[in-house]
Every structure is written in C-alpha cells, then in structure tokens.
Amino acid sequence: MVTQQADFIAAWNSLDRRDRTRLRRVVRMGRPVEAEHASLVAAYARFQRSRLWSRLFWLWFVLGIVLALGVAVRIHPVVIGVVIAMAAQALFARRNLRRTAISGAAGDS
C-alpha cells in the first residue's frame, strides 16, 4: 500500500499543474477520462476518499447545511437556493468520487 501511494504521488506530481486541475474537475463532474489517465484518476479518487474530511462527510455536511440554511432563511430566499445548489454539488462530487474509485478498483475505467 505504501509503495502504491508513493507511486501515485510521484505520478500525480509529475503531471503539469493544468492537467492535475483538469483531472480533479473531471473526476468531480463524473466525466470519463482518457485511457492513459484512467488508473491515475482512480488512484486519485481512492486517495481523496481516504482523507479525513471525506470519511466524515455526513457529519460536516449535515451540520453545515443546517447552519447555512438557518443563516440563509434570515437573509433572502435566493440565498436559500444557493445553499441548496451548493449542497447538491457536494453530494454529486462525493458520488462521483465513489464511482471513480470503485470503477478503478474493478479495472473498468
């Protein structure tokens, strides 16, 4: 596991900054990637899912939504819509990271 993680970090850091940013966005949006980056993207998704903020997603997500909606209700109805849209975006990003990590582990990507 340690060598795999070290190999991933070395491969990820060898990419150009623009490529890393593009691959992050592609994974969060759930779009398919080129075959040459498929294993790297799957390793990236597994790495992100192993981080503490991802493992505690439902804890911070529910707490954040409750607080943000409480503040938004007092400000303006449009702000409520913005909070809901941001919540949906976070849920889709989590789902897409999970799908990418699973498909990469199965070798389907």
Q: Provide the whole-model pTM.
A: 0.80
Write out the two tokens for 26.
Answer: 């592609």
Query: How many angstroms separate the CA atoms of 2 and 9, rounded?
Result: 10
Q: For residue range 46-94, what is the model confidence (pLDDT) as tens digits?
A: 888 888 988 899 999 999 999 999 999 999 999 999 999 999 999 999 9
Indicate the domain borders of the chain: 2-106
